[in-house]
Amino acid sequence: MVVSADAAAANSAVTGGPGAVNSSLNAVPATRRKLSGRYALSDFTVERTLGTGSFGRVHLVRSRHNMRFYAVKVLRKEQVVRMKQVEHTNSERAVLEVVRHPFLVNLWGTFSDPTFLFMVMDFVPGGELFTLLRKSQRFPHPVAKFYAAEVALAIDYLHQNGFVYRDLKPENILLAADGHLKITDFGFAKYVPDVTWTLCGTPDYLAPEIVSSKGYNKSVDWWALGVLLFEMLAGHPPFFTEDGNPIKLYEKIIQCKVRYPPYFEPAAKDLLKNLLTADLSKRFGNLHRGSKDIFGHLWFAEVDWDRLYRREIPAPYLPTVATDGDASQFERYPENDLAEYNMHDLPDMYGGLFPDF
Ligand SMILES: Nc1ncnc2c1ncn2[C@@H]1O[C@H](COP(=O)(O)OP(=O)(O)OP(=O)(O)O)[C@@H](O)[C@H]1O
């Protein structure tokens, strides 16, 4: 099923009550919590691959103890080191250890063997928002509003706790069985109390200040929210090149000229203009009112943020999930040889680099 205008109309999306965000709900502080347990791969049966990324793959697994399903992200230490991602990987674990939010994936624990790092997370069965968006071509305004609003709450929560996310894109947004969002992949998330300089993220979603190698802060996530919202409404990102040439793409991002399709609602366009601005002294989320400029924007006027946070607003689309471990919403990937895991006789060349796993 794809999201159609009918589905959107049948569900009045995020409407509910007066649109003031109750910041106390979203302000639950992230505290270091003891991850539920030390695990080993022998605690699970590995079912299949759910996704692959630059540094490893994510498996659907089933606990031999409680029979529940989880997603285990596996990273090859040598590859992480070679691609200079040691700090990012440790940061991913550190951020996931402390955050808890209805729209962020939950980390249960981590472990390692001499060759690999493992992260045990909730299995989010509804597939990637990316897949739904490509099948739907584009989302009707109420549907895009629902997803953008849930993402905005999650991003605001991370920022309130001093974290910047830095990799917002539809591939990293998964749908839970009830259709609500879960953001995954904290590979670039980091504690940034002030300014950082690292060039990371995904080309289409990079803010101008990252592209031009300036120091940047949390405002890059609000820019990326603008890119995401535009892509949901238009079916393509605001900045792209036909030939995929990144240099041309970065020029377009810096010039920041956006062509808004005529069917964009005026209020949506206004919000987007305030997010997709290279001028940091004008970008919403980065002004003295902070995220209130976004939550209080006219386009979100009908959003009942408290009910949204509590997942009480029915989602516009329910993924087809037949049973608990149903992974049919995920593409198939060639499976790897599981015998390479748990080779405890091998030397651990990089163990000291990942002390918390
Ligand atoms: N908790 C989860 N439940 C279900 N599927 C998941 C989960 N986490 C990740 N996936 C799937 O695995 C894919 C890869 O995961 P992830 O993005 O964390 O890996 P990565 O190596 O950091 O990828 P990238 O190269 O895109 O940064 C995701 O796009 C998603 O399809």
pLDDT digits (tens, 9 = 90+) for 197-245: 888 899 999 999 999 888 889 999 999 999 999 999 999 999 999 998 9
Beta-carbon count within 10 A of 240 CB: 13
Which of 185, 186, 321 for mutating ligand 1's site (highest number of atoms within 8 Å of CB)? 185
Residue 10: both structure tokens together: 């049948």
pLDDT, greater one: 130 or 6: 130
- Tell how far the Cα of 114 is from the centroid of ligand 1, in angstroms: 22
Question: What is the number of the ligand 1 atom nearest to the C-alpha of 331?
Answer: 31
pTM of the full structure: 0.90
Region of poorest pLDDT, from 33-47, 133-147, 151-165, 229-243: 33-47
Nearest CA to ligand 1 atom 1: 123
Active site residue 345: no
Q: Which residues share a beta bridge with 216? A: 196
Q: How many angstroms does the Cα of residue 260 sit away from the middle of ligand 1?
A: 31
92: Cβ below 6 Å to ligand 1? Answer: no
Residue bearing the CA closest to ligand 1, atom 11: 51
- The pLDDT tens digits for 246-294 are 999 999 999 999 999 999 999 999 999 999 999 999 999 999 999 999 9
**C-alpha–C-alpha distance, residues 75 and 72, integer Å:** 10
CATH 3.30.200.20 is the classification of domain 41-125+322-353: yes
End-to-end Cα spacing for the chain: 39
Domain extents in the chain? 5-28+128-309, 41-125+322-353
Q: Is the CB of 184 under 6 A from ligand 1?
A: yes
CATH of domain 5-28+128-309: 1.10.510.10
CA pair distance 88, 94, nearest whole angstrom: 10
Predicted confidence (pLDDT) at residue 338 exceeds the cutoff of 80: yes
How many angstroms separate the CA atoms of 22 and 307, rounded? 10
Mutate to test the pocket of ligand 1, among 54, 60, 73, 200 (most ligand atoms within 8 A of CB): 73
pLDDT tens digits, residue range 16-62?
A: 332 334 445 566 667 666 665 678 999 999 999 999 987 889 999 99
Judge whether 5-28+128-309 and 41-125+322-353 match in fold.
Answer: no
Whether 73 has a binding-site annotation, put simply, is yes
The tens digit of pLDDT for each residue in 72-123 reads: 999 999 999 999 999 999 999 999 999 999 999 999 999 999 999 999 999 9
| Structure confidence at residue 193 (pLDDT) | 83
Q: Is residue 107 lining ligand 1, measured as CB closer than 6 Å?
A: no
What distance in Å separates the CA atoms of residue 319 and residue 135, rounded to the nearest whole number?
13
- Nearest 5 degrees, angle CA 173-CA 140-CA 239? 60
Q: Encode pLDDT of 296-326 as tens digits.
A: 999 999 999 999 999 999 999 999 999 999 9
